[in-house]
Amino acid sequence: MILNQFLLLAAVLFCIGVYGVLARRNGIMVLMSVEIILNSVNINLVAFGAFRDNVAGEVFALFVIAVAAAEVGIGLAIVLLIYRNRRSIDLTEADLLKG
Amino acid sequence: MIASAGSILAAVLAAAEEPVAHGPSSVASAGFFLDYAWLIPLLPALSFAGILLFGKRLPRKGSELGIAAVGGSFVLAVGAVITWIGHRDDSHEGVQAVHRTVGWLRSGGVEYDAGILLDGLSVMMLFVVTAVSLLVHIYSTDYVAGDARYTHFFAFLSLFTAAMLFFVLSDNLLQMIVGWELVGVCSFVLIGHWWEHKENSDAALKAFFTNRVGDIGLLVGVSILFFAAGGTFDTLRISERINAGDVSHTALVVASLCLLAAVMSKSGQFILHTWLPDAMAGPTPVSALIHAATMVVAGIYMVARLYPVFWEGMSIGGSSINVLALVGAVTLLFGGMLAFTQNDIKKVLAYSTVSQLGYMVMALGVGAWTAAMFHLFTHAFFKACLFLGSGSVSHAVHSFDMKNDMGGLRKVMPHTYRTFMVATVALMGLPPLAGFWSKDEILAGTGGWGLFGGTHGNGNYILMLVMGMVGAAVTAAYMTRVVYLTFFGTYRGHGHPHESGPRILGPLYVLAFFAVVAGLFNMPKGFQLWPEAWQERFGHYVEPVAAYFPAIGHAKPSWSLAIVSVLVALIGAGLAWRYYFKGVQSRSQAAGASLTEIDDGPVSRGGLPKAVHTALVNKYYFDHLYTGVIVKAVKGPLAKAVYWSNQRIIDGAVNQAGRQSVAAGRAVYDHVDQGLIDNVIVDGSGRASDGAGEGLRTMQTGKVQQYAAILFAAATVLAGVFILVLSI
Amino acid sequence: MTSPVVLAAAASGGDLFVAQNVFFGVIALVMVVSALRCVTTSNVVHAALWLVLVLAGAAAQFILLGSEFVAVTQVLVYIGAIIVLFLFGIMLTKASMGDDDSVATEKRLMASLVAVLLAVVMGVALLDSYSDTRLVIDEPQRFGAVSDAIFSQYIVAFEAVSVLLLAALIGAIVVARKE
């Protein structure tokens, strides 16, 4: 195996995730896309860990998983709150940042 | 109260007897009060925690805890002052600072210490901060009585004090940053104490964000200093290396400019001063604390503490102008002029603070270090007195509006009137009150005075001398206006004002007393009317004589300068007196109308006076500049570019990035260059650019994902550029 | 989109472990396709199920890389917990099960432009720096080594993460509770 196959896979997944974050209107879908991004990062971490024969990559992948769990919890809570306030989780309607 | 403070002290003393891990062991003891000075910030910090946890259950809702802690700190600070004076007298050839450290962290081969640094400067600040804070605490028990967040208020008052004391005692730049930011956070909380009203929380945010602008300068400046001085945050070591000439001059120039940005935001210097008057939204005791002893003097203190950086970086010695002095001089003059048009008594005082801080910065800029510190010392007392006095007045009339709700109060509030007058005269700089001595020392320190013997400053700062003189006249004039509008004439408010209670008047009298006597601590050398052993005591004890302090020259005050500066102040006061006490008074009586209804004299007749007045009322359009022009011009074209890019994509013409960037550039040109320079600075009017901003506003979509797309695209482009650069 | 990955897999065909490369190619293909479906499907529930495939694929990749522990954690936490959370979120918001159809064309174009740009930049950077660096995995990482590292070298980070989880727990309750 070569290192790059994992890294390129991660890169492609990352881009797909970015596409999802930018294109989807549904708040939950955006969160899912974020999960894809985080997973691609994890693949990178573990691949480099294996490459360098260093345990740090795995340790940080585990930390990322833990943080992702927290992120999903908070993210879904926010989506619920938006839904409760507006009866919709359409992000194109969330435009309170309008200047 | 005294009993509880005593018991805390006893406990502290008992604790000090035990072998504490971080107590000084190898270093020769400098006496309890200096070795254990870390207790001084610790007490209010503990009281912050205590008030938050149990405050509501205590009989006086936590205020007694705060007063006891700050009282304890005050006692310790007085002890430190006395010990320091002894320490200074024992050492004839220069005096070493008392420096106690404990290892904090080791990372990347660099050791970071935490510690305390006591020399004349920090000891003086400890005294000022604890004294003013203690009085403000006592005052607040009456002033904010009955407030819904009384306990909360006292908790943060304690933390504010603790943060400032921590900042003052810190021996390294990292600790200073921590203290600096803590002070900022506390001021944010306290300014927004009544956050139910939007303008209050807006003011708090404004203070916070304006300070963030300067904080960037602080972080950059500290980083530069760290590397330039060979990898240390220790202020003493940095200063010593600079004085020994081991640090590159260019690095110091950049570092001092970055730090100056921090000072400009924290100490309300010109162009970043706009948060300070808005900060008046907080309760009056907080204003007094912010403006006299804590927040705003933090910037001044930092310059004084890192003086070698500025001394070398700005090339203060032997020059006739530098950025530091210029910023101070411009601030003192323009800030003072702004005070004229304000009708809110606290805002007048706020601009007055801006102006007085300008004096201090200017003094530091011309090398009159001791004069700056002395002015800080005296100003703390009379400005706190003025603020607390204005609080007492507003407590009585339930308003801060001098024109509509005050007037003639000297009869109903004799005590407030008396103390306010004392502080006013001190601020005007009339002898023999405190402000005269410190202001005169600053003017002498400019070195620009050549008449009758002349003075020996560090350069030839004639421009600073002139601006300082004009500033003195302006100060005297606007204070006369305040006094007239508040205490003379006829009462214009509603309701029945009454004198405030003893817990308000007590602190006022104490501060007024200091406003009278504080000047006596630093009688000029060679002053014939004062015993020689008592001359220049302040400078002797406060100014370091050690390797960490640059060799500054000392100006010699002269009678001629003192007389001229008094005359100038008297002329300013006299003109204002003639206008208000004579002119306005008689016109309002002749018209039988109240002050609010008669016209404003020359400023309503048009021409130049009116234009100046309009500019002053609009505070030189700085707020317009910041929100109306800069913010809108920056975010407008950005949104416009996005909008256009969307249009182009729909049209299928994706490849016209070049054209878009040209268009974006043009938008920037149209709205920043044309809008900012032509409309604001040249025409002096914010209106046109305001309109442009309104137009751009509609482009601001607020769509989060669009912003995210820009973010990702920009990051990608940057990454691409980075890769290209690396691969070449 | 999948071509670089497949190419990369094919390029290493001369390797001793052919089976590993074949597995990698198949799993990578599944992951990319599922990820694409996940972000483009109009049905939210389907999207969640496609996401499961992506996550499972990632777990398989971890095993290929010799990190069983991370793979197991991935399955437990992601597929076991996070997906369930997502499904609950979908149900609680009664988010229209069938139609998330009207992703505006301009938005889609904008997003794909950014994604393609990103892919190009990252692809160039990766191919440039690690063109055919070998990845040799002698033996899987032992659990023990990972846990030793977590509880000695990274103990502070570990504690920080636990505090973060607690904060997130409280935060989620505070944010989502009814007034």
B161 and B139 co-located in one domain: yes
B39-58 pLDDT, tens digit each:
888 888 888 888 888 877 77
Q: Is the pLDDT of residue B6 over 50?
A: no
Which residue from A21, A94, A95 is facing B708, i.e. has the nearest CB?
A: A21
Q: How confident is the model at residue B508 (pLDDT cuts 50, 70, 90)?
A: confident
CB under 8 Å, gap of 24 or more: what pairs does B10-15 form?
B12/B36, B12/B39, B12/B43, B12/B72
Instruction: Assess contact for B31 and B83: CB atoms under 8 A.
Output: yes
CA distance A26 to A23: 9
Task: Based on the fold, state whether residues C108 and C148 are members of the same structural domain.
Answer: no
CA C2 to chain A, closest CA, distance in angstroms equals 8
Token digits of residue A32: 């899912």
C68 and C13 within one domain? yes
Least Cα separation, residue A19 to chain B (angstroms): 9
Q: Is B723 on the interface with C (CB under 8 A)?
A: yes
- C72 and C148 share a domain? no
Q: CATH number for the domain including C30? A: 1.20.120.1200
CA pair distance B507, B285, nearest whole angstrom: 11
Do C7 and C128 meet the contact criterion of CB atoms below 8 Å apart? Answer: no
- How far apart CA B336 and CA B9 sit, in angstroms, is 43
Tell me the two tokens of residue B460.
């030839």
What is the per-residue pLDDT across B448-484, written as a single tens digit (0 to 9) for each? 666 555 566 667 777 888 888 888 888 888 888 888 8
Same structural domain for residues B443 and B497? yes
Q: What residues does each domain of chain A span?
A: 3-93
- Tokens in use for B346? 């606290």
Query: Is B556 in the same domain as B598?
Result: yes
User: How far apart are alpha carbons C103 and A20 in whole angstroms?
Assistant: 11
Hey, what amino acid is at B42?
Answer: L
**Rounded-to-10 torsion of CA B557, B558, B560, B563:** 50
Residues B497 and B355 reside in one and the same domain: yes
Residues C117, C77 share a domain: yes
Q: With a CB-CB cutoff of 8 Å, which residues 39-58 of chain A face chain C?
A: 39, 42-43, 46-47, 49-51, 55-56, 58
Q: Is residue B544 part of a domain?
A: yes
Tell if the CB–CB gap between B650 and C110 is shorter than 8 Å: no
Are B385 and B473 in the same domain? yes
B674 shares a domain with B604: no
Which helix (H) or strand (E) segment is B481 a member of? helix B462-487
Q: Do C133 and C163 lie in a common domain? A: no
**What is the model's pLDDT at position B174?**
87
CB contact under 8 A, C125 and B646: no
Q: Is B596 found in the same domain as B541?
A: yes
Is the CB of C51 less than 8 angstroms away from the CB of A63?
no
Chain B residues closer than 8 Å to A21 by CB: 705, 708
Q: Which residues of B390-410 are buried (b: 16+ CB within 10 A; e: fewer)?
A: bbbbbbbbebbbbeebbbbbb
Look at residue B280 and tell me if it is in a domain.
no
Do residue C18 and residue C77 come from a single domain?
yes
> Yes or no: is domain A3-93 CATH 1.10.760.10?
no
Q: Kindly identify which residue of chain B lies nearest to residue C111, measuring between CA atoms.
A: B709
Residue C117 with chain B: CB contacts under 8 Å: 713, 716-717, 720
Considering only CB atoms, A99 lies closest to which of B702, B708, B712, namely B702
CB contact under 8 A, B704 and A91: yes
Above 50 in pLDDT, residue B5?
Answer: no
- Domain extent, residue C132, equals 4-141
Please tell me whether residues B471 and B496 are part of one structural domain. Answer: yes
Q: Report the DSSP beta bridge partners of residue B296.
A: none
Amino acid identity of B243? N
Residue A15: closest CA among chain C residues belongs to which residue?
A: C115
Q: Is the confidence at residue B615, as pLDDT, over 70?
A: no
- Tell me whether residues A9 and C32 touch, CB distance under 8 A: yes
Does residue B666 share a domain with residue B563?
Answer: no
Do C20 and C99 reside in the same domain of the chain?
A: yes
Specify if B273 maps to a domain. Answer: no
What angle do helix axes B150-169 and B63-90 make, rounded to 10 degrees? 20
Report the largest interatomic distance among the alpha carbons of chain C, rounded to a whole angstrom.
64
Range of the domain at B654: 623-703
The reply to whether C111 touches chain B by the CB within 8 Å rule is yes
CA dist B60 and B65 (Å) reads: 9
Residue B402 clears pLDDT 80, i.e. is over it: no
Tokens describing residue B106: 């080791």
Please check whether residue B374 is in contact with residue B522, taking contact to mean a CB–CB distance below 8 angstroms: yes
Instruction: Give the three-class secondary structure for A90.
Output: strand
- What does the pLDDT look like over B510-562, one tens digit per residue? 888 888 888 777 777 766 666 766 677 777 787 887 778 887 777 777 777 78
Instruction: Decide which of B566, B595, B617 is a domain's last residue.
Output: B617
Q: What is the mean pLDDT of residues B309-313?
A: 85
Say if residue B432 is preceded by a cis peptide, omega within 30 of 0: yes
**Residue B362: closest CA among B372, B376, B351:** B372
pLDDT one-digit tens code per residue, B336-380: 888 877 778 888 888 888 888 898 998 888 888 888 888 888 888
Tell me the pLDDT tens digit for each residue of A55-97: 888 899 999 999 998 998 888 888 888 888 777 777 666 655 5
Boundary residue ending a domain (B567, B599, B617): B617
Cβ contact B354:B331 at 8 Å? yes
Domain end among B120, B147, B171:
B171
Count up the domains in chain C and report the number.
2
Kindly state whether residue B233 falls inside one of the protein's structural domains.
no
Q: Tell me which chain A residues have a C-beta less than 8 angstroms from the C-beta of B720.
A: none
Q: How far is CA B291 from CA A71, B277, B376, B676, in A?
A: 42, 10, 11, 32
Distance from CA of B122 to the nearest CA of A (A): 44
**pLDDT surpasses 60 at B25:** no
Among residues C83, C30, C94, C104, the alpha carbon closest in space to that of B705 is found at C104
Residue C135, min C-alpha distance to chain A (Å)? 5
* Phi, psi angles (nearest 5°) of residue C14: -75, -5
Question: Is the predicted pLDDT of residue C42 greater than 90, yes or no?
Answer: no
Contact yes or no for B67/B134 (Cβ under 8 A): yes
Listed as own residue / partner, the contacts of B344-347 with beta carbons closer than 8 Å and 24 or more positions apart are: B344/B280, B344/B400, B344/B401, B344/B402, B345/B390, B345/B393, B345/B394, B345/B400, B345/B401, B345/B402, B345/B406, B345/B482, B345/B485, B345/B486, B346/B280, B346/B284, B346/B287, B346/B387, B346/B390, B346/B394, B346/B400, B347/B277, B347/B280, B347/B400
Q: How far apart are CA B5 and CA B11, in angstroms?
A: 10
Looking at residue B339, the DSSP 8-state letter turns out to be G
For residue C14, give how far its alpha carbon lies from the nearest alpha carbon of chain A (Å). Answer: 9
Alpha carbons B28 and B22: distance in angstroms, whole number: 14
Assigned token pair, B81: 């002052």
Cβ B497 vs Cβ B413: under 8 Å: yes
| Residue whose pair of structure tokens reads 């606007």 in the numeric block | B478
Whether residues C109 and C167 fall in one domain: no
Which own/partner contact pairs does B239-243 have at CB distance under 8 Å and 24+ positions apart? B239/B306, B239/B307, B239/B308, B239/B309, B239/B547, B239/B548, B239/B549, B240/B547, B240/B548, B242/B308, B242/B309, B242/B311, B242/B312, B242/B550, B243/B308, B243/B547, B243/B548, B243/B549, B243/B550, B243/B551
Q: How many domains does chain B have?
A: 3
The subunits that touch chain B, with at least 3 C-beta pairs less than 8 Å apart, are A, C
Same domain, B75 and B166: yes
Q: Which of B723, B724, B726 to mutate to test the interface with C (most CBs of C within 10 A)?
A: B723
Instruction: Please tell me the pTM assigned to this model.
Output: 0.67
Residue C100 C-alpha, separation from nearest chain A C-alpha, in angstroms: 7
Beta carbons of B487 and B414 less than 8 angstroms apart: no
Average pLDDT over all residues of chain B = 76
How many inter-chain contacts (B to C, CB under 8 Å) are there?
Answer: 37
Contacts of B123 (CB under 8 A, 6+ apart): B77, B80, B81, B84, B542
Domain match, C25 and C82 both: yes
| Confidence at B92, pLDDT banded by 50, 70, 90 | low
- Helix B462-487 with B434-445: angle, nearest 10 deg: 160
Same domain for B543 and B669: no
CB atoms within 10 A of CB B658: 8
Residue B393: the pLDDT is 84
Supply the pLDDT for residue C134. 81
DSSP summary character for residue B58:
S
Has residue B250 got a pLDDT over 90? no
